[in-house]
Structure 1
Amino acid sequence: MTRAILYVGHGTRSKKGAEEAKEFLGRVIARVDAPIQEISFLELTEPYIPEGFGRCVAKGATEITVVPIFLLTAGHIKEDIPEALETLRVKYPDVSVEVAPAFGVQERIVDAISELVKTSIGKVDPVDSVLVVGRGSSDPAIHGAFAEIKAGLEERLGVSRVSVCYLAATTPLFAEGIESISFEADGRVLVVPYLLFAGLLLSEVEREVRKRNRAGQDIVLIEPLSRHGAIQDIVVERASGKEDVRVATVDH
């Protein structure tokens, strides 16, 4: 049996975001002991899943572990990736396929966010507020996941308020979220994009933060999550079949 790893990112129309994702996965590949490793994307960025899968097979893969580079389990994980793989299972019936889970809500991801915040601003003041900005999904489970993330950040950062908003598909949307928290904040507003990489969605957040800072507000945009080493570690573990025991959901 010859094992291959197929990494599946979301994809983006942003050239910067696509390059950032590929560079990140290049660093992961360098750490994973597997004879065949290929990168693919669900949409918007090439190569797509069928091409990446085909490359694995062409190199002799007889079993493929698909590693989704997705933070939370929603429609892409539950529907889109399985649909794409089902066609490939039919096309390549002699190749066994396993799919690793999305990252989920993990203690160390919330720890990583807390560390990114503290690296960006130094000491967190209790009067500061945090706005967590998710990509958004029509899957109702997303709200439960972000409730856990919110509670974990409240505990770790000790700020007066943590709010959640989304960039698409569900409410409250980002425009409402940042307006509300900016109006009520006594200290700084720390905007935490719950996104892995740069891209058009993050650019939208960046523009709004710059606009509000020019207007005299004190808003700090925290870096996307892939800038923290814990995210790379999680992907390496998924690809290596050695998931860390700390995959339990946030304990609060």
Structure 2
Amino acid sequence: MEAILYVSHGSRIAAARYEAARFVERCKAAIDIPIQELCFVELAEPDIVTGVDRCVAQGATRVIVIPLLLLSAGHAKHDIPAALERAKRRHPSLEIACGTPFGVHETMIDIIIDRISEQATPLDDQSMILLIGRGSSDPDTKRDIAAIARRLKEKTNVPHVDICFLAAIRPTLDEGLKQANASTYRHVFVVPYLLFTGVLMKTIERKLEALRVSPQQWHLCSYLGYHPRLITLIQQQLSSLSLAKKGA
């Protein structure tokens, strides 16, 4: 029997855990696989090994792991594989197939555009976008955010898209805000490239509050959240992993 194990980043913030759980409930309604469980990389329970245990306890013989992560960095490259290896030792006969983070995908660009379009002010030739990534010491993170920014600029025809990060990489959030504040653009659309609410969103809100007296009009967009479009990406991954099994 097949199961899906969704792996969220995890947070100490109850609202963030609740958002992940609600999203998985929507996935369950859209995906016809009998066993579907949620677990977390860190900061919340159940952990990944426990998530696998729960799938097996319900009769799973094959577990498809879906990382609910935006980009491929340390969690996707190291933490999740290590946890799955531990789970495999506990359940030697279990087949485990692991998907990938959402990554640089056209659907992710569309989600950003959806969040920007929620603002009362539309993008125009006096607008710029500041895309804020979480940040990671993994060099792929900066490369991927830069690729998303380039595609966003192409798709919106906005004059300028800049990037900054909340941790580990430069430019920092402060540097990104300072650069935008010194620009000649009238409207600055600030887009947190984050999947869930929490401390990082509060940090962005606090920094922007100090800029309300600047010449620019600042528009803080919602974080990406567990957007309905993500279910389509998950369905595509499931289809690909199922085809891989058939071709094995």
Q: Using structure 2 for the length normalisation, give the TM-score.
A: 0.91
Question: Residues of 1 paired with 2:209 and 2:230: CA distance?
Answer: 27
CA shift for structure 1 position 153:
1.3
Matched, 1:14 2:13: yes
CA shift for structure 1 position 216:
6.7
Matched position secondary structure for 2:168 = coil
Task: State the identity %.
Answer: 38
Assess if the C-alpha contact under 8 Å between 2:20 and 2:226 holds in 1.
Answer: no
Question: CA offsets, 1:20-79, max 9 Å, x none?
Answer: 121112111221111111100000121111211111111111110000001111111111
Question: Residues of 2 paired with 1:134 and 1:65: CA distance?
Answer: 27
Matched, 1:181 2:185: no
Question: CA offsets, 1:107-134, max 9 Å, x none?
Answer: 1211221232123235211111110000
Match in the other structure for 1:39: 38
Question: Where does 1:99-114 land on structure 2 (aligned, <5 Å)?
Answer: 99-114=98-113
Matched position secondary structure for 1:213 = coil
Question: Where does 1:233-252 land on structure 2 (aligned, <5 Å)?
Answer: 233-238=232-237, 240-241=238-239
Question: Residues of 1 paired with 2:10 and 2:78: CA distance?
Answer: 16
Assess if the C-alpha contact under 8 Å between 2:109 and 2:151 holds in 1.
Answer: yes
Matched position secondary structure for 1:121 = coil
Question: Residues of 2 paired with 1:198 and 1:35: CA distance?
Answer: 29
Assess if the C-alpha contact under 8 Å between 1:209 and 1:220 holds in 2.
Answer: no
Match in the other structure for 2:245: none
Match in the other structure for 2:143: 144
Match in the other structure for 1:219: 218
Matched, 1:89 2:88: yes
Question: Residues of 2 paired with 1:21 and 1:130: CA distance?
Answer: 27
Question: Residues of 1 paired with 2:212 and 2:25: CA distance?
Answer: 35
CA shift for structure 1 position 183:
1.8
> CA distance change for structure 1 residues 229 and 185 in 2, over 3 Å: closer, same or farther?
farther
Q: Which runs of 5+ in 1 are unaligned?
A: 244-252
Assess if the C-alpha contact under 8 Å between 2:185 and 2:216 holds in 1.
Answer: no
Assess if the C-alpha contact under 8 Å between 1:129 and 1:185 holds in 2.
Answer: no
Question: Residues of 1 paired with 2:102 and 2:3: CA distance?
Answer: 20
Match in the other structure for 1:66: 65
Q: Using structure 1 for the length normalisation, give the TM-score.
A: 0.90
Matched position secondary structure for 1:39 = strand
Question: 120-129 or 159-168, which moves further after superposition?
Answer: 120-129
How well do the aligned residues superpose, as a CA RMSD in angstroms? 1.7
Question: Where does 1:150-169 land on structure 2 (aligned, <5 Å)?
Answer: 150-169=149-168
Assess if the C-alpha contact under 8 Å between 2:7 and 2:67 holds in 1.
Answer: yes
Match in the other structure for 1:98: 97
Matched position secondary structure for 2:63 = strand
Question: CA offsets, 1:73-97, max 9 Å, x none?
Answer: 1111111100111111111101010
- RCO higher in structure (CA 8 A, sep ≥6): 1
Matched position secondary structure for 2:29 = helix
Matched position secondary structure for 1:241 = helix
CA shift for structure 1 position 242:
5.3
Question: Residues of 2 paired with 1:227 and 1:190: CA distance?
Answer: 20
Residue identity opposite 1:169 in structure 2: A
Question: Residues of 2 paired with 1:187 and 1:227: CA distance?
Answer: 30
Question: 226-235 or 21-30, which moves further after superposition?
Answer: 226-235
**Aligned residue pairs, count:** 241
CA shift for structure 1 position 158:
2.0
Residue identity opposite 1:46 in structure 2: E
Question: Residues of 2 paired with 1:164 and 1:137: CA distance?
Answer: 14
